[in-house]
Amino acid sequence: MSETIEDNLHIIRNRIQQACQKSHRSTSEVKLLLATKTIPAERIKIALQAGQTLIAENKIQELKEKYEALKNSPHENHFIGHLQTNKIKDLLKYEVTCLQSLDRLDLAEKLHQRLCFENKKLDVLIQVNTSGEESKFGVRPDEALDLVQKVARLETLQIQGLMTIGLLSAETEKVRRCFQLLKNIQQQIIAANIPRVTMKELSMGMSGDMETAIEEGATIIRVGTAVFGQRPTPDSYYWNESVTVQ
């Protein structure tokens, strides 16, 4: 089992390297984040022991369940799922360093309140729905700049960039358009020169489309299946608005 995870990581590092070569980028510009939803702590540990340092959950419940078991393996936790406002305290308690899925002002305001109270700051990425699919979370592309401007006024939140889930399609060029759209929005936001806003991170690309994302400028790719194998739970359970059980 450990061999498989290590082998898979090896394969992914090669894929990253080739995609970087193709687009004349340095591999040091692309961080590999492991999406660990449904994966038991013991298996995540194998990946951490193999040298990975960045992991992310989609649900606070899973973050909580695995926290103790992973505490002593050095790593950084991001959060990539839909966050309900009543889970903000837990997000901070379990030491998430970056919320990649900030997609609405009311969540930002409630985070800010809590962060003020705890005298903390938090890195965030703004999640944009670039595929136009209703089942995906994220701010609409034409509303992204406005959301960034408003979130930028909340001084506990440090905007570091943007995140998206591309269209799940076998047609590479359609998927590529999602990533290009995210890059365009990034450029617009940079041009708007908003105080305190950094646009250095573009979190895009998963197991099936990481090469395309890297070619279009991804700085963080989020990979689950290609490391840990197929998950038993369909992704709609994590991505669909109609499912709010946490």
Ligand X SMILES: *Cc1c(COP(=O)(O)O)cnc(C)c1O
Q: Give the binding site for ligand X (CB under 6 A).
A: 35, 37, 58, 80, 165, 206-208, 222-226, 235, 238
What is the smallest separation between the CB atom of 192 and ligand X, expressed in angstroms?
Answer: 26
Question: From the CB of 137, what's the least distance to ligand X, in Å?
Answer: 9
Q: How far is the CB of 196 from ligand X (least distance, A)?
A: 25
Q: Output the smallest distance, CB 72 to ligand X, in A.
A: 25
The least CB distance from residue 125 to ligand X, in Å, is: 11
- How far apart are the C-alpha atoms of 225 and 222, rounded to whole Å? 10
Shortest separation between residue 153's beta carbon and ligand X, angstroms: 26
Residue 222 forms beta bridges with which residues? 33
Nearer to ligand X, 104 or 222 (CB): 222
Helix (H) or strand (E) holding 122: strand 122-127
Closest residue to ligand X: CB criterion: 224
Based on CB atoms, which residue is closest to ligand X, 199 or 226?
226
CB of 198 to ligand X, least distance (A): 21
For residue 63, the number of C-alpha atoms closer than 13 Å in the C-beta half-sphere is: 26
Which residue's CB is nearer to ligand X, number 179 or number 238? 238
Residue number, 118 or 241, with CB nearest to ligand X = 241
Which of 197/204 has CB closer to ligand X?
A: 204
- Please tell me the distance from the alpha carbon of residue 92 to that of residue 111, in angstroms, as a whole number: 9
Buried b (16+ CB within 10 A) or exposed e, 208-236: bbbbbbbbbbbbbbbbbebbbeeeeeebe
The DSSP output letter for 27 is G
Nearer to ligand X, 209 or 215 (CB): 209
**CB-CB contact of 221 with 227 (8 Å):** no
User: Which residue's CB is nearer to ligand X, number 193 or number 230?
Assistant: 230
Burial (CB < 10 A; 0-12, 13-18, 19+), residue 128, is: buried
* Cβ contacts of 228 within 8 Å, gap of 6 or more: 5, 8, 34, 36, 39, 43, 47
**Closest CA relative to residue 187, chosen from 176, 175, 206, 200:** 200
